[in-house]
Amino acid sequence: MTTVLVVDDSPLDRKLVGSLLEKKFGWKVEYAASGAEALARVKQSPPDLVITDISMPEMDGLELVRHLRETFPEVPVILTTAFGTDMLAIEALERGAASYVPKSQLSTRLAETADSVLRIAEQNRERERLFECLEFIEFEYLLDNEPELIQPLVSVVQQTLAGVRFTDFPGRLQMGIALKEALLNALFHGNLQISKEEIEAVSDRLLEDDELSLVEKRRREPPYRDRKIRVHIKITREEAVFTITDDGPGFDVEKVVRKKDQTPELEQQRGLSLMQTFMDEVRFNERGNQVTLVKRRPVNSR
């Protein structure tokens, strides 16, 4: 059975997170009131997933992420963040956290985020050894507007990254999450032209009947039904480059993409924030219908 460790100094928040996962998946949920207690529990019996608040006494979520990456790199960590902790969340993502969910959106985002992170992590572990001799690979996909195709593609990329031993497990997990966000953006925002308000409803709960009906409706209507997503992938032992192109009208890049000296608005641009945090480069073409993600192999993993 999947085991999740929930870490939060607030008993109410701990119970909320645990109850959401128990109700949705029936997972076994364990609890810790601080980062120090959580680390002791992980050393005793590593869980499949850790979900931690970022602001806690003693050892906070930031420090917990650092310790887990050093000692238990195959245990993914999801952050829960309150208002005003955006920059701390970015720092924790850079240190090895797999994703984050604002506390204001726990009821709508947590279950899907946890399930997605676990799927990527489990699939990556199962197939890593199959690609250990791989030195170089370049391939291209032409995808229909099917949400079901995104996770398998991310899984293939994870396997390939593992095969060339491209960074460590948390680093590869982060790359997979960034790629998935780019693909979802190309599908929903690009080809299907679903608005920001609608995307918040469909991208996190694809299994609900009402959200699927919206996707299916767009997929059967012109001009959306004939659009494709082109995914070009080139991976070596030194660099990974992902180029995702949709057939949509694009967007005003200058208005959406944050600059390096701007504070990221995590709740408003969650997918873009993840891409920019997890990748070394995120580039859009002028039209705004193509994004290129670049990740260079860390020096200490060569």
Quote the pTM value. 0.64
For 18-65, write each residue's pLDDT tens digit: 999 999 999 999 999 999 999 999 999 999 999 999 989 888 888 999
State yes or no: pLDDT of 209 exceeds 70.
no
* pLDDT value of residue 254: 80
Domains in the chain: ranges and CATH: 3-111 (3.40.50.2300), 132-301 (3.30.565.10)
For 65-83, write each residue's pLDDT tens digit: 999 999 998 899 999 988 6
* pLDDT value of residue 68: 94
d(CA 78, CA 222): 39
3-state secondary structure of 283: strand
d(CA 30, CA 7): 9
- With beta carbons less than 8 A apart as the criterion, state whether 97 and 65 touch: yes
Which among 64, 68, 100 has a CA at the least distance from the CA of 85?
100
For 104-140, write each residue's pLDDT tens digit: 899 999 999 999 999 888 876 666 666 667 778 999 9
State yes or no: pLDDT of 198 exceeds 50.
yes
Instruction: List the structure tokens of 158.
Output: 């994870």
Residues 6+ positions from 156 with CB-CB distance below 8 Å: none
d(CA 268, CA 100): 13
Instruction: List the structure tokens of 232.
Output: 């070009």
Residue type, 294: V
User: E strands of the chain, at which residues?
Assistant: 3-7, 28-32, 49-53, 77-81, 99-102, 136-143, 229-236, 239-246, 281-284, 290-296
Residue with the bigger pLDDT between 199 and 14: it is 14
pLDDT band at 167 (very low <50, low <70, confident <90, very high): confident
76 alpha carbon, distance to own chain's centre? 11
* pLDDT value of residue 128: 60
